[in-house]
Amino acid sequence: FISNEKPKPYPPIAVPVIDKFGQWKLKDWKGKIHSKDELISRELKLKKSVESEKYPDNWDKYGGWKEKKFESTGFFRTQNNGKRWWLVDPDGCAFLSIGVDCIRKGPPGPVNGIEDLFDWLPGKNDSNYSAMNQVQSGMIRNQGVYKNMDFYIANLIRVFGKDWESEWNKITAGLIKKFRINTVGNWSDIDFAKEEKTPYVLPMQNFPATKIFLFRDFPDVFAKEYRVNSKRFASQLAEYKDDPYMIGYFLRNEPQWAFGYHNLAYEMFGTSQQSATKDKFVNWISTKYGGEIQSFNKSWNLDLKNFQDIESMTFKNFPSEKADSDYYEFSKIMVKRYADIPCDAITDKRIYEVATGQKAPYKKEVTEIPPIHY
């Protein structure tokens, strides 16, 4: 049942089920660690096995293919040779990006309130494991901050001590070369990619939002605020403008509004909340019907005196099939603007040249991002 009260905790278990290495105690398997000496021996063996790894001779330092060359620009770029599109590395070699996401240390897991499950957890003042005592974004809840534990990092510290991070970098760089990976994928340790000089892609942070949302996390895309926040969003690329190892960037991943089939404009009218996008819809629908309210009423099975009246209305069902299609047509405009405004901010001449270190792909001087009309 649903309750406002926090449930009482389960009574502590008599015997812990997670060992000091972070492994499940109640089952054995091939490869399970049984002692610190075994852990150290295995990790040092892995380190030795990859320390001399390198890319094939016909790969350049970026992981590009030397046997197919294009013009070198000093940065990653794309080129169509008349038959197909190619990704080209900074030295002008054809580049087939082979990457893995989430190449990073961690992640930690919460242990607050379930400490009885573990054989061992580091003490609050244990400086040997301070690298794990970090508050992770996403671990904050209404009841406070969960304590985290990262057995992966703890085991690295057991093997390498204070040098665990640099040793992880070396081993991971060797494994990447061994497995012929030439790209550090999304949600990875960018500092690692920079230090080990491995091409990487950048997931941009804080996709522009607005104070109000129209449906789930879909912003008010016709609000001036959305354009302003898009410029701020674009400016984060300036930090990477001189880095030839950055292949490119991703603007957004898995927005909540995109899960499932949704008619966004219709969902926007699920409440009476006012917005710039709703204002734009009223103007758009009026123009679509030539300002003829009777024609609109007939198509939508409504009896309005003017188009403005629809702005304060809410709908639990489509008033007609034509309303469904009209709403969906405007939804396409909403989604296009959702993508266009941030993309226009990134390709604004001033921002583009600062962020990429290259001249913008057009000559016209841009003093302001031009408005988009639909």
Q: What is the pLDDT of residue 367?
A: 34
Contacts of 288 (CB under 8 A, 6+ apart): 326
316-364 pLDDT per residue, tens: 999 999 999 999 999 999 999 999 999 999 988 555 555 555 555 433 3
Q: What is the pLDDT of residue 147?
A: 77
**302, amino acid identity:** L
Q: Please give the Cα distance from 206 to 204 (Å, whole number).
A: 7
From residue 291, alpha-carbon distances to 315, 319, 323, 327 in Å are 22, 19, 16, 17
Contacts of 121 (CB under 8 A, 6+ apart): 111, 115, 149
What is the DSSP secondary structure assignment for residue 99, as one 8-state letter?
E
Torsion of CA 362, 365, 368, 373, to 10 degrees: -50
Please check the confidence at residue 312 and state whether its pLDDT lies above 70: yes
- End-to-end CA distance of the chain: give it in Å, rounded: 49
Q: Please give the Cα distance from 309 to 290 (Å, whole number).
A: 16
Give the three-class secondary structure for 117.
helix
**310, amino acid identity:** I
User: Among 104-118, 270-284, 306-320, 323-337, which is the least confidently predicted range?
Assistant: 104-118
Average pLDDT over residues 60-70: 97
Q: Please give the Cα distance from 228 to 67 (Å, whole number).
A: 45
Whether 64 and 55 have beta carbons less than 8 Å apart is answered as no
Q: Other CB atoms closer than 10 Å to residue 113's CB: what's the count? A: 12
Please check the confidence at residue 315 and state whether its pLDDT lies above 90: yes
Sign of torsion over alpha carbons 343, 347, 353, 357: positive
How big is the CA angle at 170 (ends 164 and 176), to the nearest 5 degrees? 130
What's the pTM value of the predicted model, to 2 decimals? Answer: 0.83
Nearest to 185, CA basis, from 129, 249, 117? 249
Tokens of 348: 């604004």
Q: What is the pLDDT of residue 143?
A: 41
Average pLDDT over residues 260-274: 97
**365, amino acid identity:** E
Q: Please give the Cα distance from 98 to 148 (Å, whole number).
A: 32
* DSSP string for 187-254: TS-HHHHHHTT--EEEE-SS----SSEEETTEE-TTSHHHHHHHHHHHGGGGGGTT-TTEEEEE----
What is the DSSP pairing of strand 99-100 with strand 183-184?
A: parallel
Average pLDDT over residues 44-55: 97
- Helix (H) / strand (E) element for 149: namely strand 148-149
